[in-house]
Structure 1
Amino acid sequence: MTQEAGRKRKRRNKSRKTETTSTHAAASLTVKQSPSASTVFKASSKPSSFLEKMKAKLSGGHFRMINEKLYTCSGDEALNYFKEDPSLFNMYHTGYQEQMSRWPEQPVNIIMKWLKDHNSSLVVADFGCGDARLAKGVENKVFSIDLVANDPSVIACDMSKTPLDSSSIDVAVFCLSLMGTDFPSFIKEAHRVLKQNGWLLIAEVRSRFDPNNGGADPDSFSKAVCSLGFTSVSKDFSNKMFILLYFKKKPKNNSGKEIKWPELKPCLYKRR
């Protein structure tokens, strides 16, 4: 091989190496500039997660607002409130179910068990039934009553003015539903529709009956219920979240004297 031919060959090899190096560098630059799949996923997931958190926060805020409204107004006002915007009822119960999911035990389950331990022929009125869970969980005939009827089986009305016949019910249930400022009128309605010796079952948030923190004295509350025409059968304070009170309707009505009802502390949730 001549010297001239050797020099030409070296120049060709050098040119090829330069092209290869440039190609590799360009590819490397492209890889570095292009985000990885995991980076893209994280970037796209952040707004979604943020929106979900904001939606949950807004939903929680709406629930607290509606909850406070229900505890600080009368039953008739609450009925009109939901008539104006029925969607608020769904919003409230979505938040309510989310709150209840944190409780280790549900009072409605205890009431279901109580009914299953008694005769299934007992006719029940569930005041403030919500999603009518009680009616779906027992064999008894249950009249489900609430401010809005999201199910054909629910009777929508003010709980102090139900369409139920007098002395037609064996068991009246208030499961976390003594919310209005006129709650005594709900209990009076339960007394009207109950048969003689009929049962009144009340489950309420424990803090509402804690005199040390602004709640009502449970003995004073029971005394007021008994003055209406009931006998106190038992009280269950074993659960840290709620209490259960069991009454039976007396054979004779009360004397009609004015009853002094204790004020029940509203169950309000902290704003976040």
Structure 2
Amino acid sequence: MNQEAGGRNRKRKRRNNHRKTETPSKKQTATATAAASSSVKQPPPTCTVAKTLPKPLSFLEKMKAKLAGGHFRMINEKLYTCSGDEALNYFKEDPSLFNMYHTGYQEQMSRWPEQPVNIIMKWLKDHPSSLVVADFGCGDARLAKGVKNKVFSIDLVSKDPSVIACDMSNTPLETSSVDVAVFCLSLMGTNFPNYLQEAHRVLKPSGWLLIAEVKSRFDPNNGGADPDTFCEAVCELGFTSVSKDFSNKMFILLYFKKKPKNKVSKGINWPELKPCLYKRR
């Protein structure tokens, strides 16, 4: 009996040992799982970066922008439809209008793919820096700040100590004192021929006249002046046409040289330049 009982006890122990070998404990299972997890590379935690969106304009800001745009268009129309001395008196009465106009002007220019003043700067840099320049309708005097030449910056109002404030048809410059006269989007008054006559007066013989203007002003199919007719009038004033550049879709560039002999035709038939007016919104 004792031998039989001992045999049963030995068999029971072998079965228990076999179960321990086959079935791991909960603690062993958890440890094994943790080890397996640590051996597998986990993807890094995703970091969500919030995109900074432009703050929408408030109703008040929208109204201010609309009013500023309306004021610019009003002043712009005034400058295209009055004479130079009228424009001078207009800004004398309220100089803040000049700042308002040029703020709107710069906003409009920022939409152009290319600026005509940059082309004129490049032209000057390709010529001797000793050439003296008169910038008629200089605005913020950007041309003077971008070249090494001596530049007389002229406009209706002086926003900078270097700018000469005057009517562009009657400047304080001496006769035959400059080598290059520039009109960059500035033939705006109804008496624009007087501006060109003044440029002719202050230019030295064989001096350069550079004109950059909005292309629509020289589109005869849409009420603009015929560019050839305009160039003929400038030549009658005492210039020779050197070249015309119509390659830009926004503006044209005209290059003239003053004739050595100062002979000016009388009774020049000047074409009317189409005002560059912006649509009211």
Tell me which interval the TM-score lies in, with the shorter structure as reference length. 0.7 to 0.9
Matches of 2:160 and 2:266 in 1, distance apart? 39
Matched residue, 1:92: 101
Matched residue, 1:176: 185
Match of 2:119 among 104, 107, 110: 110
Matched residue, 2:85: 76
Where does the alignment leave 5 or more consecutive residues of structure 1 unmatched? Answer: 1-44
Matches of 1:118 and 1:47 in 2, distance apart? 48
Which structure has more helix as a fraction of its residues? 1
Matched residue, 1:224: 233
How far has the Cα of 1:256 moved from its partner?
A: 3.6
Change in Cα spacing, 1:62 to 1:169, as seen in structure 2 (3 Å) is: same
TM-score, structure 1 length as denominator? 0.82
Q: Specify the code of the residue in structure 2 equivalent to 1:148.
A: V
Tell me the secondary structure at the aligned position of residue 232 of structure 1.
Answer: strand
Matched residue, 2:61: 52
Matched residue, 1:160: 169
**2:238–2:265 contact (8 Å) kept in structure 1:** no
How far has the Cα of 1:254 moved from its partner?
A: 2.4
Matched residue, 2:244: 235
Matches of 2:264 and 2:102 in 1, distance apart? 39
Matched residue, 2:153: 144
Cα deviation digits, residues 192-221 of structure 1 (max 9, x gap): 000000000000000000000000000000
- Percent identity between matched residues is 88
Matches of 1:108 and 1:255 in 2, distance apart? 29
Count of residue pairs brought into register by the alignment:
228
How far has the Cα of 1:253 moved from its partner?
A: 1.8
Pair 1:193-2:179 in alignment: no
Change in Cα spacing, 1:115 to 1:51, as seen in structure 2 (3 Å) is: same
Bigger Rg over Cα = 2
Where does the alignment leave 5 or more consecutive residues of structure 2 unmatched? Answer: 1-53
Root-mean-square deviation (CA), in Å? 1.3
Matches of 1:197 and 1:67 in 2, distance apart? 34
Matches of 1:183 and 1:56 in 2, distance apart? 31
Matches of 2:185 and 2:264 in 1, distance apart? 29
Matched residue, 1:25: none
TM-score, structure 2 length as denominator? 0.80
Q: Specify the code of the residue in structure 1 equivalent to 2:189.
A: G
Cα deviation digits, residues 49-83 of structure 1 (max 9, x gap): 11111110000000000000000000000000000
Matched residue, 2:137: 128
Q: Specify the code of the residue in structure 1 equivalent to 2:174.
A: D
